[in-house]
Each structure stands twice: as structure tokens, then as C-alpha cells.
Amino acid sequence: MKAYMAVPVLLFFSIGLAAAPAQEYGKIRPLNERAAQIVQQRDRFVTQVLTSYGIPHEENEQGAVVRIKMDGRWLAVTAIEVVPVVEEAGGLRQVTAHTLYFTTATGILELRSELKIR
């Protein structure tokens, strides 16, 4: 009798556990797509800021800034961070600017822009 009960229980758990990764994949795929959209939006914003300030820069095939020209030298950019500047007025918090940090081999370059991310 116990053997007959064990077979359906084992089948239930093996089928149920096999379906779990498929369900998780259905959740992960939209998250990966959204992450790619956010990266593209950030890259467009960084390019827009550098262009508006007249800072020469180079982009890769995906549109990410990979080099910028500062003080007559081309610097390879290894990372870019965009940090919103938030001010509070009347109990409301509002993004008023963004600070861009460019990590290079010689250090971190900082650029503040009042352009809006769109």
C-alpha cells in the first residue's frame, strides 16, 4: 500500500518542481528586457549630456560611451553612474539635476547636468 502512495507523490513533486523553472523563466525574461531598456535609456542620456556640453566622446555599437576626451587626452571609460540630485520643497521631493560619474584609469570624472532623462 505504501509503495502505491509513493509513486503518485513522487510524480507530483517531479512534475511540480520541473514546472517551477519554466515559471521563473517567464518572470526573468521581462525583467531582462526592462533592464536592457533602462541601459539604453541611460546611454542615450549620457550621450545627450556630453553632446550638450560639447565634450568629444566615442560610443560602441550598442551606444554606450567608451571614451571621452578631457584636457586633450582620450580616456577610456570603464563605468558610468548616473545619480539623481533630489531637492525637497514643500514636502515634495523632486529630481532637479543628475550627477554623472565616469570611471577611468586616471580616476573618476564628475559632471553635473540639469537635463532631464526621457
- pLDDT score of 28: 80
How many domains does the chain divide into?
1
The answer to whether the predicted template modeling score (pTM) of the entire model surpasses 0.85 is: no
Whole domain around residue 42: which residue ranges? 2-113
**26 domain residue, yes or no:** yes
- pLDDT score of 115: 85
Q: Are the CB atoms for 83 and 98 separated by under 8 Å?
A: yes
**24 domain residue, yes or no:** yes
**28 domain residue, yes or no:** yes
CA distance 113 to 52: 9
**22 domain residue, yes or no:** yes
- pLDDT score of 8: 53
Query: Could you tell me which residues are beta bridge partners of residue 100?
Result: 82, 111
**118 domain residue, yes or no:** no
* pLDDT tier at 104, thresholds 50, 70, 90: very high
Three cell numbers, residue 58:
566615442
Three cell numbers, residue 26:
517567464
CA angle 101, 106, 110 (to 5 degrees): 20
For 19-78, the pLDDT digits (tens) are 555 566 667 888 889 999 999 999 999 999 999 999 999 999 999 999 999 999 999 999
Q: Are the CB atoms for 15 and 22 separated by under 8 Å?
A: no
**78 domain residue, yes or no:** yes
